Structure formats: structure tokens, C-alpha cells
Amino acid sequence: MNEPSPGRDTPGAIGSALLVGVGVAALVYSSEFSDLGAVFPLAIGGLMVAMGVLYLVFYAMGRTQRAAPAAGSNLRRAGVAVVMLAWAFALPSLGFLASSAIAFVLLLMLANHERWTLRTVLLYGATGVLVLGGLYALFKHALQVPLP
């Protein structure tokens, strides 16, 4: 997927360091568990810390490879992440139709790189209504899923 490019894998090292932190936290919290319940957390937490440290060692030794930086708009990417998070957490309060309609429109705007002509607005809008309405009906009525 990502071609390697020259240079050390700094993002990977950062990630490893973060995950070492997570592993340590897991180990610390596992002190509250019963004997049997703590076996796996300790083993896995330990393994994670060991592997993370190992990777950091490789990084320091220069034996890591860096993936190519991804092209494209980071702003849009972040936008999608934010919209989806907000959508998921708004579901209980705003209800399904409201939060989904808003999110759908926002995602539509984020995903569309072409210019917005009247035709595209109408076409995409109509499709959106159809898709949202159709899926809502399918789930709520045909499948009897109680959407919020």
C-alpha cells in the first residue's frame, strides 16, 4: 500500500512509544485484578512493552523504514473523523434521522471534490434523501430495529 521511502520511521517510533505507554498503563491497572484474571493482562501488557521497546531500539539503530507520506487533503480527512465522532455521540440526543441527515450532508460536502453545480446539488441531495429514507425504512420497519 505505502511504498517505503528513505529515512527512519519516525511516525512508527512515535506510535510505538505511545503504545508502550498504553502497555505500562495496562500493567499498572492489572494489579487490582484477581490472580486468574491478571494472568493475561500481565502477559500481554508485558509483551506489548517489550515489542514497543524493541521497535524503538530498531529505530535508534536505523533499521526501520518509513512509509511514504500520504498525498491528499489532511483537512478533509480530519473533517470526516470529526463528523463521524460527532454523529456517533449525538445519536442518543438528536435521534437517528436528525443526526444522520446532518452528517450525510457534511460528508457529502467533504467527499465532493468537483464543483457544486445546481445539477449536482439536486442529484446528490435527492440520492441522499432516497438512501437515508430507504435505509431508515428498511431497518426501522422491515427489520424492526428500534432506532433512536
Partner 1 sequence: MGSLEYLLAALTPLNLLLALAGVVAGTVIGALPGLTATMAVAVLVPFTFAMEPAAALIALGAIYTGAIYGGAYAAILLNTPGTPSSIATTFDGYPMARGGRGDLALTLACLSSVIGGLVGAGFLLLLAPPMATVALKFGPVEYFWLAVFGLTLIASLGEGSTVKGLIGGCVGLLLSMVGVAEVGGDVRYVGEFKALLGGVDVVSALIGLYCVPVLIELVASPGQHLDATGRVASFRLREASTLMGRAKFNLARSSVIGTIVGILPGAGGSIASLVAYSEAKRVSPRRAQFGHGEPEGVMATESANNATVGGGFIPTLVLGIPGTPPDAIILGALLVQGIRTGPTLFTEQAPVVYTFIWGLILATVIMLPVGLLIGRFAFKSIVAIPKAVLVPAVALLTVLGSFAVHNNPHEVQQMVVLGVAAWVLGRLGFSASPIVLGLILGSIAERGFVQGHLIGGARGSVVAEFLGRPISIAIIAFILLGLLWPWWVKRRQARQGQQGATTNE
* Residue 31 interacts with partner 1 (CB under 8 A): yes or no: no
Could you say whether residue 7 binds partner 1 (CB under 8 A)? no
Any bridge partners for residue 67, and if so which?
A: 4
Q: How many residues does the chain have?
A: 148
Position 137 contacts partner 1 (CB under 8 A)? no
Q: What is the DSSP string of the chain?
A: -PPEESS--HHHHHHHHHHHHHHHHHHHHGGGS-HHHHHHHHHHHHHHHHHHHHHHHHHHHT---EEPPPPS-HHHHHHHHHHHHHHHHHHHHH-HHHHHHHHHHHHHHHH--S---HHHHHHHHHHHHHHHHHHHHIIIIIS-----
Site for partner 1 in 39-98 (CB under 8 A): 39-41, 44-45, 47-48, 51-52, 54-55, 58, 64-65, 67, 70-74, 76-77, 79-81, 84-85, 87-89, 91-92
CB nearer to partner 1: pick between 6 and 34: 34
Size of the site for partner 1 (CB under 8 A): 75
Nearest CA to 28 among 48, 12, 14? 48
CB of 14 to partner 1, least distance (A): 6
Query: Least separation, in Å, of the C-beta of 118 and partner 1?
Result: 15
Residue 116 CB, nearest approach to partner 1 (Å): 10
CB of 139 to partner 1, least distance (A): 6
28 scored as a contact of partner 1 (CB under 8 A): no
Which residue in 6, 61, 62, 113 binds partner 1 (CB under 8 A)?
113
One-letter amino acid identity for 16?
Answer: S
